[in-house]
Amino acid sequence: MRYYPVLLDLAGRECVVVGGGTIAEGKVAPLVAAGARVTVIAPVLAAALAAQHRAGWFTHVARDYCRGDLVAAFLVIAATDDAEVNHLVHAEAVAAGALINVVDDPPYCGFILPSVMRRGDLTVAVSTGGHAPALAVRIRERLERELGDEYGRFLELAAQFRTALADAVPTFEERKRIWYRLVDSDVLALLRAGEVRRARMRIAEITGLSDFGLTRDDAGRTDSGATSLPPSGAPRTVGRVFLVGAGPGDPKLVTARGLEVLHCADVVVYDRLVSPGLVDEAPAHADRVFVGKSPGRACVSQEGINDLLVHEATQGRTVVRLKGGDPFVFGRGSEEMLACVKAGVHVEVVPGVSSVLGATAAAGIPVTARGIAGSFAVVTAHRAGDDDHDWRALARVDTLIILMGVERLRTIADALLAAARAPDTPVAIVENGTLPGQRVVEGTLGTMAALAAAADIRPPALIVVGDTVALRATLQPQHSDAEMADVA
């Protein structure tokens, strides 16, 4: 690493910019904003700089640079279009012990200027070591889209309670835990929504501070600033539960809202089909509770999961229940939501990409196609009770998708054949859809059970029955090295 990243306090420092053209324009304003005493040396100023000078932003020396101009300088920027002049400025600055940047000439830079994003007191600087400033700009622009004004507002609040928190919590490790819980909580989301009062109350709850000196809310209305907390040992404010669809497997397919609430979690409750990489997105302090179920065997009963969600929320914690696919597509999310509603716990459902659509798309199989399939149905091979599906009705659906059916392939095939579905109907079985180990076995309704057995297909896998499967040969995406060859 050639450059050591550092943020300079320039308040009251003498900073000199040599050059008055468009190159210099972008250098002066940040120096002025940082509180520096700025001098610009140039015979003529560009229009924007001239306006800033008339406003009293800086001192203008209306002539060419002369040796001796940098005697009192702490920081110097050479921004002329004359390389010889810039190098003379560099030589004097180095001799005077001043920091020097020659614009767009890295060998003559004692420091380089990163692309900077600011949100109040939040400063993010992006540098490419002077090799590709345009890339730094694009990265900064991406950060500006992702990091809103709520970050600056959070820091305004933090400045008001930081000292009080240090006094109330003298132990560094405990303060560190509180700070991480704060930044990983829903405070930023509340500020983004303009709910400053609720954000303050949440800060008070997490820090244990009943009043951190705020006197106005976001609309400027006078407020007492006090937030009363329950006495020690009293019941805490009820938390919240988020039922989040984790998507079909690939952790990148979770929704933006799902990732947002996951970053605020105090507890993450997840099942077997959730990617470990997605669970790792939860804050470091968050408890992680595995409640996965394997075919025919439950790790934790559904009633136990319901009780866990309610219990953790009533302790004032933000609970994220990560469920493979979508919570309401064979995910028993309605049962978990009902348990929360009955207990008076706030619950929000965050939809996810179901494997019904995600895994089929990843395999290159459309569920509908004009002129081929105008309907599709989704069923599970595991239903509560002893009743079975109406296979005669399902056999008439253009595209039939069957979940959790690997162990019942022979029974499913026989039922569809008995319902008059043609034995040469194309069938695909997608194992580990959207994941690096995805496999697809293609065959027909008459051969699929034998083919799956020969390929040793294992859950999680879904079965697609219908003519759209035949489109896969032309629509399938390029396979990764990890995908095994189809069994013909």
Arithmetic mean of pLDDT, 128-155: 90
Spatial contact of 65 and 45, defined as CB atoms under 8 Å apart? no
Specify the pLDDT at position 129.
84
The model's pLDDT over 474-486, given as tens digits with 9 standing for 90+, comes to 886 554 434 433 4
Specify the pLDDT at position 239.
80
Spatial contact of 258 and 350, defined as CB atoms under 8 Å apart? yes
Specify the pLDDT at position 488.
36
The pLDDT-based confidence of 425 (bands split at 50, 70, 90) is very high
Specify the pLDDT at position 294.
60
Specify the pLDDT at position 211.
58
Residues serving a catalytic function are 271, 293
Angle between helices 172-183 and 150-168 (to 10 degrees): 160
Arithmetic mean of pLDDT, 69-87: 95
Specify the pLDDT at position 474.
86
3-state secondary structure 291-319: CCEECCEECCCHHHHHHHHHHHHHCCCEE
Arithmetic mean of pLDDT, 275-289: 90
Spatial contact of 368 and 398, defined as CB atoms under 8 Å apart? yes
Q: Is 384 helix (H, G, I), strand (E, B) or coil?
A: coil
Does residue 232 surpass a pLDDT of 50? no
- Range with lowest mean pLDDT among 76-80, 167-171, 198-202, 290-294: 290-294
Specify the pLDDT at position 125.
92
Which has more pLDDT, 470 or 480?
470
Mean pLDDT over the full length of the chain: 87
Q: Is 225 helix (H, G, I), strand (E, B) or coil?
A: coil
Specify the pLDDT at position 295.
54
Bridge partners, residue 323, by sequence: 245
- Those residues whose C-beta lies under 8 Å from the C-beta of residue 148, and which sit 6 or more positions away, are 119, 192
Percent of the residues in the chain that have a pLDDT greater than 70, as a whole number: 89
Specify the pLDDT at position 453.
92
The pLDDT-based confidence of 248 (bands split at 50, 70, 90) is very high
The pLDDT-based confidence of 131 (bands split at 50, 70, 90) is confident
Does residue 1 surpass a pLDDT of 80? no
Does residue 218 surpass a pLDDT of 50? no
Arithmetic mean of pLDDT, 138-161: 92
Structure tokens at 350: 């965050």
* Chain mean position to CA 298: 31
Specify the pLDDT at position 226.
34
Bridge partners, residue 444, by sequence: 426
The pLDDT-based confidence of 173 (bands split at 50, 70, 90) is confident
Distance CA 421, CA 397 (A): 10
Arithmetic mean of pLDDT, 386-401: 87
Measured CA distances, 342 to 328, 329, 345, 347, 348 (Å):
18, 22, 8, 11, 14
- Those residues whose C-beta lies under 8 Å from the C-beta of residue 132, and which sit 6 or more positions away, are none
The beta-strand segments (E) located in 351-459 are 376-380, 399-403, 426-431, 439-444
Domains of the chain: 14-113 (3.40.50.720), 148-236 (no CATH), 240-353 (3.40.1010.10), 357-475 (3.30.950.10)
The model's pLDDT over 290-346, given as tens digits with 9 standing for 90+, comes to 998 665 555 688 999 999 999 999 988 889 999 999 999 998 999 999 999 999 999
The model's pLDDT over 9-63, given as tens digits with 9 standing for 90+, comes to 999 999 999 999 988 988 999 999 999 999 999 999 999 999 999 999 999 999 9
